[in-house]
Structure 1
Amino acid sequence: MPSPIEGFSKLTKEEKIRWIAEHYTHDPKASISLFKTYWNKDADLQQLHDEFIENTLSNFYLPLGIAPNFLINGKVYALPMAIEESSVVAAASKAAKFWFSRGGFRTKILGTEKIGQVHFMYQGDPGRLAAFVEQIQPLFVSETLSITKNMVARGGGIKKVELRDKRQDLKDYYQLHCTFETLDAMGANFINSCLEQFAKTLQREASTSPILRPEERHLEVVMSILSNYVPQCFVRAEVSCPVDELGSVGDISASEFAEKMIRAISIANIEPYRAVTHNKGIMNGIDAIVLATGNDFRAVEAGIHAYAAKDGTYRSLTHASLENEVFRFWIEVPLALGTVGGLTSLHPLVKLALEILGQPSAKDLMGLVAVAGLAQNFGAVQSLVTTGIQQGHMKMHLLNILNQMGASEQEKKQLVEHFKKHSATHSAVVEALQELRKTS
């Protein structure tokens, strides 16, 4: 086992690669070569990527695909999706094509507020604390003017700062619960900068406040940080059509298909074991476009899963109904996204993805991302209640299996044709490839 290294961050990239390869890999020469194989030949572009994070060694590629033919609010989109999982782009594309002739997708922004909090401890009378916070409200605005000036000029800024008493959950615990509008920016740096100034204002003013008793004037600020839970920054995406326009699927009639879809969603709404996998499928679509547009998919994931459990039970993010012979399928999901700042103005492929989407505003992007999740879920549930998930998924996974087996281009071509008529399980693919090689 290698000894801890001092000053690793100060090494050159070449030195870092050499140290990692020599101490942690079985074939240092091959490892060094592999790291360098994934460098971009454009030195300036590679340096841009190197500076996104710390201790960069190389690039880690994901496929960037396109799901075309999305009719959304009367406009046709092609959605860029960055993801490694087989069948995701295909399922989204299939759902887009299905709904294109049935009116397409519709979206509606239900809110755009984002949240940040100053968490602090206070030992004293809650009534006096409330009066003190109310008195210094103007200072929260005036002392952040240098931070908020440009955002306010564009129509955003601080919306509300309120005191919340959380002592029932933790002794002496209070918070400033703060609401912001950040427009086309995701706004993390903006929000955190405001919160840190709120904390300074709070502590300074408390130390001399005549409202508070001397023994109450020491407020302990624990931390100031935005929240990735944004239940008031959310969007609805939906599709609907007369049930008879759904068409039949094999031996399943349109009305039976609608009922099966509704039952499947109902099960995901009451059974957490199913809901987790159900929502993971939704996130296949959401994460892929969030990543392609340079947004923080970890933050989006955390906020969405918290929202799915907002009433104490983890539930489906999608809903379905059949009323007056009209089938309706929809999703309501929180999404804090940005189209300016961060990677959106740095990463060349992110900029290209946003161009493909027509340079959307943050609100527009919220709708597009929600549609991607809804389409992905429709495709998955449609397969589950009709042919089963494995038939389509394994055929999309076929090339991955063949590549693992070292199949030639001719072998791939022959086996792709073969599995158009046969079930493509892993063992079946291995067996078919072995038989093919025996006869060739």
Structure 2
Amino acid sequence: MKHQAVEGFSKLSKEGKIEWVINEYLNGDTSTIKILKQYWNDDADLQKLHDEFSENTVSNFYMPFGLAPNFLINNELYAIPMAVEESSVVAAASKAAKFWQTRGGFKTTILSTTKLGHVHFMYEGDFEKLNTAFENTIKAKLVEETNDITKNMRARNGGILNLELINKTADLANYYQIKGSFETVDSMGANFINSCLEQFAKTLKNEIDADDNFTQEEKDSLQIVMCILSNYTPDCIVRAEVSCPIEQLAEGEITAEEFVEKFSRAVRIAEIEPYRATTHNKGIMNGVDSVVIATGNDFRAVEACAHTYAAKDGQYSSLTHCEVKDGIFRFWIDLPTALGTIGGLTALHPLVKLALGILGKPNSKELMGFAAVAGLAQNFAALRSLVTTGIQKGHMKMHLMNILNQLEATEEEKQFFVNYFKDKTVTHHTVIDEFCRLRGVTSVEEIKKN
């Protein structure tokens, strides 16, 4: 069946959009209506709020909103809100939090908070002439002509920190940038930065056009390509770390020295091997993204920035590091991340407001710390499992409920399996076999028929 293009889809009512997708893509299956509507909020005003977060909305997509308690951070106890669908993420973070609670907890330090944006432009004239004009007159004019935009931000001790002319002609003929450095305080700052950049572009063009030192040909050659913030923020960095004497790290039958050796070696492998580093950092971002989503921030920007930073030295590498010095084990992460606690969803989404309330209404720097701590805790828990019991034992126990829900197990059957696997490793194959035995059938297909 070939599908037809649709005109004016955004102007259809929500019911109209649903009717269209049912007829065009779902063979008229009206059960779709029930599936979509069961996730609508009963409160019409709340549903309208959610509808207006994005475009062409037909329903809400729920994710579990959980809490990881017992995080001792800078000598204060916190429960960290985490929105994530993957089994074992919240459990692992909570387990790491409890482990470090009695060993000094987590410490966070803001290393820097600078965010960046660029005016990308082409210019075919004399670079020295352009550079002289930029330093003598244009730079000051860029600041002056954005005063109205930066007024409120400057009142909060933010604003434009620095402006540079960047010559990129070695990489692309005639390509230049105006690189802006910004402090956006408690907002993520995207709209603020982009507004400044667009004004920079207008000012640059006007100043060159009005400068008699440039030939008409040079003036005509100046073309603005785009004005956009960068989600790579290598100068907006938070450090989260844990440390304790080596002897406090004994793990079951594994001595403290053996545990530290295995753990350090696992981190070192992630530092030198991109295949391992990718999975290693993915686990870190399980924790980071969960906090970022729960607090209404842009997890795609945070992800992109973290992975770019992981490759900043020319090879993709671990975001976490560890060392042993004078008998002290230390494990840390330097995470580049631009987060906000005002603007965007932070003042609109009820659960986001609740999450920020649980965290004590943090400022942006404190929120950066919470995200980094969650990532470090998740990574510690994963590495601890990998070098001791193995990752599957704990992960598959958390995944057990997903398997049982797919099989539509009863509550009694779920309790049976929880008890059954108390001293066994969960595997999908074992669950299926035991479930079939319990139901007295030979295959899952037989269950579905009944």
**TM-score in terms of structure 2 length:** 0.96
The correspondence for 1:171, drawn from 146, 166, 173, is: 173
CA distance, structure 2, for counterparts of residue 81 and residue 364 of structure 1: 16
Per the TM alignment, residue 223 of structure 1 is displaced from its structure 2 partner at its CA by: 0.2
Q: How does 1:245-324 map to 2 (within 5 A)?
A: 245-247=248-250, 249-324=251-326
CA distance, structure 1, for counterparts of residue 190 and residue 393 of structure 2: 42
Per the TM alignment, residue 3 of structure 1 is displaced from its structure 2 partner at its CA by: 1.1
The answer to whether 1:40 aligns with 2:62 is: no
CA deviations on 1:35-59 (whole Å, 9 max, x unpaired) are: 1111000000000000001101000
Between 1:428-437 and 1:270-279, the stretch displaced more is 428-437
CA deviations on 1:81-114 (whole Å, 9 max, x unpaired) are: 0000000000000000000000000000000000
**Contact 1:131–1:211 (Cα < 8 Å) also in 2:** no
Per the TM alignment, residue 210 of structure 1 is displaced from its structure 2 partner at its CA by: 2.1
Amino acid at match of 2:311: A
CA distance, structure 1, for counterparts of residue 106 and residue 159 of structure 2: 31
CA distance, structure 2, for counterparts of residue 371 and residue 155 of structure 1: 26
**Contact 2:4–2:24 (Cα < 8 Å) also in 1:** no
Per the TM alignment, residue 19 of structure 1 is displaced from its structure 2 partner at its CA by: 0.5
Corresponding residue number in structure 2 for 1:232: 235
Q: Secondary structure at the match of 1:295?
A: coil
Q: How does 1:117-266 map to 2 (within 5 A)?
A: 117-134=118-135, 135-218=137-220, 219-247=222-250, 249-266=251-268
Q: Secondary structure at the match of 1:111?
A: strand
Corresponding residue number in structure 1 for 2:402: 400
CA distance, structure 2, for counterparts of residue 302 and residue 355 of structure 1: 27
CA distance, structure 1, for counterparts of residue 183 and residue 406 of structure 2: 49
**Contact 2:333–2:372 (Cα < 8 Å) also in 1:** yes
Q: Secondary structure at the match of 1:387?
A: coil
Q: Secondary structure at the match of 2:30?
A: helix
CA distance, structure 2, for counterparts of residue 193 and residue 124 of structure 1: 27
Q: How does 1:2-151 map to 2 (within 5 A)?
A: 2-26=3-27, 28-134=29-135, 135-151=137-153
**Contact 2:302–2:337 (Cα < 8 Å) also in 1:** yes
**Contact 1:239–1:328 (Cα < 8 Å) also in 2:** yes
Per the TM alignment, residue 432 of structure 1 is displaced from its structure 2 partner at its CA by: 1.2
CA distance, structure 2, for counterparts of residue 430 and residue 211 of structure 1: 79
CA distance, structure 2, for counterparts of residue 306 and residue 26 of structure 1: 43
**Contact 2:277–2:316 (Cα < 8 Å) also in 1:** yes
CA distance, structure 2, for counterparts of residue 44 and residue 436 of structure 1: 47
CA distance, structure 1, for counterparts of residue 23 and residue 72 of structure 2: 53
CA deviations on 1:132-173 (whole Å, 9 max, x unpaired) are: 112111211111111100000110001111100000100000
- Percent sequence identity is 62
Per the TM alignment, residue 32 of structure 1 is displaced from its structure 2 partner at its CA by: 1.3
Which aligned runs of 4 or more in structure 1 are off by greater than 6 angstroms?
none
**Contact 1:143–1:197 (Cα < 8 Å) also in 2:** yes
CA distance, structure 2, for counterparts of residue 173 and residue 2 of structure 1: 43
CA deviations on 1:254-293 (whole Å, 9 max, x unpaired) are: 1110111100000000000000000000000000000000
**Contact 1:163–1:176 (Cα < 8 Å) also in 2:** yes
Amino acid at match of 2:147: L
Q: How does 1:356-375 map to 2 (within 5 A)?
A: 356-375=358-377
Per the TM alignment, residue 251 of structure 1 is displaced from its structure 2 partner at its CA by: 2.1
Between 1:62-71 and 1:136-145, the stretch displaced more is 136-145
Q: Secondary structure at the match of 1:110?
A: strand
CA distance, structure 1, for counterparts of residue 377 and residue 212 of structure 2: 58
Per the TM alignment, residue 371 of structure 1 is displaced from its structure 2 partner at its CA by: 0.3
Q: How does 1:406-421 map to 2 (within 5 A)?
A: 406-421=408-423
CA deviations on 1:308-331 (whole Å, 9 max, x unpaired) are: 000110000000111111111000
**TM-score in terms of structure 1 length:** 0.98
CA distance, structure 2, for counterparts of residue 312 and residue 335 of structure 1: 20
Per the TM alignment, residue 211 of structure 1 is displaced from its structure 2 partner at its CA by: 2.7
CA distance, structure 1, for counterparts of residue 144 and residue 116 of structure 2: 19
Q: Secondary structure at the match of 2:180?
A: strand
Per the TM alignment, residue 26 of structure 1 is displaced from its structure 2 partner at its CA by: 4.0
CA distance, structure 2, for counterparts of residue 108 and residue 419 of structure 1: 42
Amino acid at match of 2:301: A
Per the TM alignment, residue 27 of structure 1 is displaced from its structure 2 partner at its CA by: 5.2
Corresponding residue number in structure 2 for 1:327: 329
Amino acid at match of 1:54: E
CA deviations on 1:330-386 (whole Å, 9 max, x unpaired) are: 000101000000000000000000000000000000111000000000000000000
CA distance, structure 1, for counterparts of residue 417 and residue 38 of structure 2: 30
Per the TM alignment, residue 438 of structure 1 is displaced from its structure 2 partner at its CA by: 2.5
- The unaligned stretches of length 5 or more in structure 1 are none
CA distance, structure 2, for counterparts of residue 229 and residue 408 of structure 1: 48
CA distance, structure 2, for counterparts of residue 244 and residue 250 of structure 1: 13
